[in-house]
Amino acid sequence: MTEMMTKTAHDAVMTSPNGALRRIAVYCGSATPADPRYMQLARDVGRVLAERGIGVVYGGGRLGLMGAVAGGALDAGGEVIGIIPDALAGSEVANTECSELRIVGGMHERKQAFTDLSDGFLTIPGGVGTMDEFWEAVSWAQLGYHTMPVGLLNAFGFYDHLIAFNRHMTDSGFIREAHRDIIVADDDLDRLLGRMAAYEAHVPIFRMKAGDL
């Protein structure tokens, strides 16, 4: 296990070369919901990514959907890189079965590592922490800190209201029309991965003229 932090979002624009999804940062909850479909979904996501030769980068925990994603990928022979803050690593929630477990100083370093190591982001059901990670990936894409796809797996209609709210923000003028489709949402994992691989980056705010803002 190593502590890592090599660059910030200001140093370079992160890109996914030629649409290749070699690793995906998976954002999801650390809770175990009563509905067993969510844990099975997480295991299936990890398994499918591994079967496609796509490495998983995730929060490094062994509990809830996070642990299920990692377990599904590892059982299928995939690469799993866990990124966990030192405060959590010492509380017995770290998944020591990861292919690699990296310990960082805090949440900002954790999210930067997700961006540095991945070619895209995939959010499945989760709570407040998942939303923090998801919206930061969207915000950074909008600004131009990265040009990678931000996927949202709307399994069981879990994110119906989020998708509707994103549309409402756009219709109300708080999200620019050019950025309407930053979020790549789908209820089918295979179709979503295909759309993420084909994603073409929008014009970021950093490259817009004042009259377009």
Q: Which domain holds residue 200?
A: 20-212
Contact indicator for 42, 143 with CB cutoff of 8 Å: no
- What is the rounded distance in angstroms from the CA atom of residue 99 to the CA atom of residue 79? 6
Residue 4 maps to a domain:
no
Identify whether 8 is part of a domain: no
Select the more confidently predicted residue: 98 or 207.
98
Q: Residue 125 domain-assigned?
A: yes
Can you give the pTM of this predicted structure? 0.89
Assign residue 67 the CATH number of its domain: 3.40.50.450
Instruction: Indicate if the pLDDT at residue 4 is higher than 70.
Output: no
Residue 30: inside a domain = yes
pLDDT band at 20 (very low <50, low <70, confident <90, very high): confident
Q: Is residue 10 part of a domain?
A: no
pLDDT at residue number 15: 54
Residue 3 lies in a domain: no
Domain total of the chain: 1
Question: Which tens digits make up the pLDDT trace of 150-201?
Answer: 999 999 999 999 999 999 999 999 999 889 999 999 999 999 999 999 999 8
Task: For residue 18, name the pLDDT band (cuts at 50, 70, 90).
Answer: very low
47 within some domain: yes
Indicate whether 142 belongs to any domain.
yes
